[in-house]
A = this chain, B = another copy of it.
Amino acid sequence: MFKISPEPIAPAALQRTLADARAGACVTFEGWVRNRNEGQPVLSLEYEAYAPLAEKEGGRIVAEARERFALLSAVCVHRVGHLQLGEMAVWVGVTAEHRGAAFDACRYIIDEAKARVPIWKKEHYASGATAWINCAVRGEHAIP
């Protein structure tokens, strides 16, 4: 299950959906808005998603993780909107009988989601400048 959420993520409720008597391991990843990126002080982050395709592509990533690793369940929720420092941008939770599969799958899901899911983030800096991450082009005076 992969969802885009305009509302704050509620990790406790999400994690309860993973409960399974066969599960011996639960690994979660949370991405938080941090106060610096590549040396620049960050004040806040805007996330924007192309939601229908993001949920499709995210769902494919979760399905791939279930094929590759011996999982019992896997969920990823990605926030959109204007987030302040310390807010949760993404939550991934997986359960498995054994911890190796749970760690590997959790990492697979977040790595692939960051690389493939159509979500963009714009950093707002203390200087007043902003930048869409990964969208700078050679010659621009922007964040590489």
Interface of A toward B, CB cutoff 8 Å:
12, 19, 21-36, 85-86, 95, 97, 99, 102-103, 106-107, 110
Q: A25-B29, A34-B23 are in contact. Are A99 and B103 (CB under 8 A)?
A: no
- Residues from chain B with Cβ under 8 Å of A21 in the complex: 34-35, 85-86
Give the docked Cα–Cα distance between A33 and B31 (Å).
27
Secondary structure at chain A's binding surface: helix, strand, loop or mixed?
A: mixed
Copies in the complex: 2
- Residues from chain B with Cβ under 8 Å of A33 in the complex: 24
Give the docked Cα–Cα distance between A12 and B26 (Å).
14
Q: Is the CB of B25 within 8 A of A32?
A: yes
Q: Is the CB of A30 within 8 A of B34?
A: no
- Residues from chain B with Cβ under 8 Å of A35 in the complex: 21-22
Q: Is the CB of A27 within 8 A of B28?
A: yes
- Residues from chain B with Cβ under 8 Å of A29 in the complex: 25-27, 99, 102-103
